[in-house]
Chain A
Amino acid sequence: MEALDQETASRGVAQAGTSLKTRPSWMITLDRMRRRSFCYLFLLPTFALLLTFNYYPAFSALYHSFFQWDGARFKQWHGIANFIRIFEDEVMRTAFKNMFIISGFGLVISITFPLVAAALIFHLRDLRFAYFYRVMYVVPMVVPGMVTLMIWRFIYNPQIGLLNTLLRSLGLPTRVWLGDFQYALYALIFIGFPWIAGTSMLIYLAGLQGIESSLLDAAAIDGASGIKRFWYVELPLVASQIKLIVILTLIGAIQGFTGPLVMTNGGPGTTTMVPGLWLYRNAMSYNKMGYACAIGTFLFIVTMVLTFLNLRFVQSSAEFEGA
């Protein structure tokens, strides 16, 4: 900030009395731009890339949502027909239903398991153990996501997978988990159980560690302990973290499709179809680029609206005065 003041001041001195009053403002701006031309030079690569690979595709997607388009020569104005089709499309309806189920489970999971784990770690009296557990739960995140998915594919393997082998040794019935019309979607949701090793746990833990220790001391003096203290003191104070996790989980559930693509490819039938995967298939397999763009636009709008609602209406961390 001071740098700017100083810059402006020195410029003012240089131009004092001569041109400053007589020249029109756009000329002064132009002059400043010339003086600062190296700034634009420094920003040139950034904006050249952004315009080509980020801005252009984003606007192209919005624009082509209104067209019937094969991605090459054939392009025909289609009005809002693509968007109407989103709601009439049978597969899309299944995809939305799955999206709701995944979001629902995802929300419940992401504000219970990792939060409880973070609270347990936070309350360990021996800090070395707290550090040990934190590192322990970070390590699985270091394994590439695709390797984790492959391991889970093996866990669900009907003949030699861990799950069926376990069930067989307990004398329980086995299933073709990822090929089961009834269970495939839930098998996908179950991946990563017990869902603790993840960024959510780290974010909750950081939130808990950010609580003023005087507050916790005061609560302890007042006789609040264990679950009571968690519920009445800590939980309101990590509301901001919960809010963040909620929106991240929703964004993931609305836009993500790597899991279903790799594990089931939407099958069996369309039982594990999700919106992102349907977009992907319309574009890459059926060449319906316009419709795919419309799905993308729709998902983008849904995400924006939810983000806005979350920012606007979900409560942030309680603030304590004079803490």
Chain B
Amino acid sequence: MNAKLLKHDWSKHLILLLAGFITFYPFIFMLQTSVKSYYQFQHNFWLPTWPPNPLNYKDAFNSIWPYMINSFIVSGVTVFAVLGIASFAAYTFARYDFPGREILFLGILALLMIPGILTLVPAFLLIRDLGLIGTRWALILPYLSGGQVFAIFIMRSFIAGLPEELYESARIDGASNWHMFWRITMPLCKPILVTIGVMNILGTWNDYVWPLVTLPDDRLWTITVGIIRFTGHFQGLEAYGQMFAGYVIASVPLIVLFVFTMRAFISGLMSGAIKA
């Protein structure tokens, strides 16, 4: 039966596999070249070679790890801060009626339409005037501020959809607002928190222009900025093995994140697209 199914769809498989091969070959090339010596690279350009040279990874790691650490710190601090602040706000908007609720929420929604290209210049000047150029705060604060907008938007509708009976019975039991937030709402929000978290990490890990303009000092550079200098350095030495090993290392954190949160990762990618 399986063979029959395959036979019937063979033309589709052919197209999908061919397109898949073209899509993947650059990444396969990255992987195979990352363990090639200079000699192997020169003499066997297209195919994998034996034996592998794991030492390429040592060289690459030595020059790339400071950037990785910086990215970890910035993305890590940002994602937890965004989840915290957005949870507070989303819970408040979803579960309480207070004067000005609609207009305040509209004030957040409107920001979804403001593109980064509009605010780039004044935001840079603001960071400069606040004396934050060349500090991690130059990244974290704007990331936090911008990242919470979409997070609040998504979380508010999720929390508003939770059954009211939960809160009613909690109120009858005399639960405080804090208790209802922390003990009832947050545990139920875990899946959506993972999705928002993944989406946020994707955004901050991949951002290039903002760290480029706000961090003149290379000690704080994130991976996106650092990898360009890294490329220039190893390309100048014609050390292509090390160069591609660095690219692999730079990709590992997101791949690990993907493996552990596949479902949330995919919906994060899609909602990230809708946000833009």
Q: Give chain A's interface residues, CB within 8 Å of chain B.
A: 1-4, 6-8, 29, 32-33, 36, 38-40, 42-43, 45-47, 49-50, 52-58, 60-62, 64, 71, 117, 120-121, 123-126, 129, 133, 135-148, 150-153, 155, 160, 162, 165, 193-194, 196-197, 199-200, 202-203, 206, 244, 248, 251-252, 255, 257-258, 261-262, 276, 279-280, 283-284, 289, 292-293, 296-297, 299-300, 303-304, 307
Q: Which residues of B contact A280 (CB under 8 A)?
A: 120, 209
Query: Would A146 and B23 be within 8 Å (CB), given that A280-B120, A299-B115 are in contact?
Result: no
Q: Which residues of B contact A56 (CB under 8 A)?
A: 122, 126
| CB neighbors of A among B91-143 (8 A) | 91-93, 95-101, 104, 107-108, 111, 113-126, 128, 141-142
In the bound assembly, the distance between CA atoms of A46 and B84 in angstroms comes to 10
Q: How far is the CB of B169 from chain A (nearest CB, A)?
A: 12
Residue of B nearest to A32 (CB): B99
Q: How far is the CB of A121 from chain B (nearest CB, A)?
A: 7
The 6 lowest CB-CB distance pairs between A and B, nearest first, are: A60-B122, A53-B145, A36-B98, A57-B122, A49-B145, A199-B273
Residue of A nearest to B126 (CB): A57
Task: Determine if B231 is an interface residue (Cβ-Cβ < 8 Å).
Answer: yes
Q: Which residues of A contact B194 (CB under 8 A)?
A: none
Contact A304 B113, beta carbon cutoff 8 Å: yes
In the bound assembly, the distance between CA atoms of A141 and B145 in angstroms comes to 25
Query: Would A53 and B123 be within 8 Å (CB), given that A39-B98, A297-B118 are in contact?
Result: yes
Task: Determine if B26 is an interface residue (Cβ-Cβ < 8 Å).
Answer: yes
Contact B121 A283, beta carbon cutoff 8 Å: yes
| CB neighbors of A among B136-163 (8 A) | 141-142, 144-146, 148-149, 152
Q: Give chain B's interface residues, CB within 8 Å of chain A.
A: 2, 5-6, 8-9, 12-13, 15-16, 19-20, 22-24, 26-27, 29-30, 45-46, 85-86, 88-89, 91-93, 95-101, 104, 107-108, 111, 113-126, 128, 141-142, 144-146, 148-149, 152, 164, 167-168, 177, 205-206, 208-209, 213, 223-224, 227-228, 231, 240, 247, 250-251, 254-255, 258, 262, 265-266, 269-270, 272-274, 276
Contact B118 A58, beta carbon cutoff 8 Å: yes
Q: Which residues of B contact A143 (CB under 8 A)?
A: 27, 251, 254-255
* Contact with B120, one of A4, A139, A283, A307 (Cβ below 8 angstroms): A283
Q: Which residues of B contact A57 (CB under 8 A)?
A: 118-119, 122-123, 126
* Contact with B111, one of A54, A193, A276 (Cβ below 8 angstroms): A54
Q: Which residues of A contact B231 (CB under 8 A)?
A: 150, 153
Q: Which residues of A contact B250 (CB under 8 A)?
A: 144, 146-147
Contact B9 A202, beta carbon cutoff 8 Å: no
Contact A50 B145, beta carbon cutoff 8 Å: yes
In the bound assembly, the distance between CA atoms of A39 and B98 in angstroms comes to 7
Q: How far is the CB of B189 from chain A (nearest CB, A)?
A: 15
In the bound assembly, the distance between CA atoms of A80 and B223 in angstroms comes to 40
Q: How far is the CB of B82 from chain A (nearest CB, A)?
A: 10
Query: Would A144 and B121 be within 8 Å (CB), given that A7-B97, A120-B16 are in contact?
Result: no
Q: Which residues of A contact B125 (CB under 8 A)?
A: 60, 71, 289
Q: Which residues of A contact B45 (CB under 8 A)?
A: 160, 165
Other 8 A-B pairs with CB < 8 A, given A126-B9, A255-B116, A258-B208: A42-B89, A45-B88, A54-B114, A61-B118, A141-B269, A146-B228, A251-B115, A280-B209
Main secondary structure of the interface of A (DSSP, over half): helix
Q: Which residues of B contact A47 (CB under 8 A)?
A: 104, 107
Q: Which residues of B contact A129 (CB under 8 A)?
A: 9, 13
Chosen A-B contacts, 26 in total, with CB atoms closer than 8 Å, are A4-B97, A7-B96, A32-B98, A46-B86, A46-B152, A49-B141, A50-B108, A52-B145, A54-B145, A58-B118, A60-B122, A61-B118, A120-B12, A138-B269, A139-B258, A141-B269, A144-B250, A150-B227, A151-B27, A162-B26, A193-B22, A203-B270, A255-B115, A276-B117, A280-B120, A307-B113
Q: Which of B19, B104, B108, B152 has the largest count of A CB atoms less than 10 A from its CB? A: B19
Q: Which residues of B contact A61 (CB under 8 A)?
A: 118-119, 121-122
Q: Which residues of A contact B27 (CB under 8 A)?
A: 140, 143, 151
In the bound assembly, the distance between CA atoms of A4 and B258 in angstroms comes to 39
* Contact with B118, one of A39, A136, A199, A299 (Cβ below 8 angstroms): A299
Q: Which of A251, A257, A284 has the largest count of B CB atoms less than 10 A from its CB? A: A284
Q: How far is the CB of B59 from chain A (nearest CB, A)?
A: 17
Contact A199 B269, beta carbon cutoff 8 Å: yes
In the bound assembly, the distance between CA atoms of A81 and B11 in angstroms comes to 59
Q: Which residues of B contact A138 (CB under 8 A)?
A: 258, 265-266, 269
In the bound assembly, the distance between CA atoms of A293 and B128 in angstroms comes to 16
Contact A39 B92, beta carbon cutoff 8 Å: yes
Contact A261 B209, beta carbon cutoff 8 Å: yes
Contact B119 A144, beta carbon cutoff 8 Å: no
In the bound assembly, the distance between CA atoms of A3 and B184 in angstroms comes to 15
In the bound assembly, the distance between CA atoms of A142 and B149 in angstroms comes to 23
Query: Would A43 and B88 be within 8 Å (CB), given that A144-B205, A144-B223, A146-B208 are in contact?
Result: yes
Contact B99 A142, beta carbon cutoff 8 Å: no
Residue of B nearest to A59 (CB): B122
Q: How far is the CB of A156 from chain B (nearest CB, A)?
A: 11
Query: Would A45 and B121 be within 8 Å (CB), given that A7-B97, A39-B92, A150-B247 are in contact?
Result: no
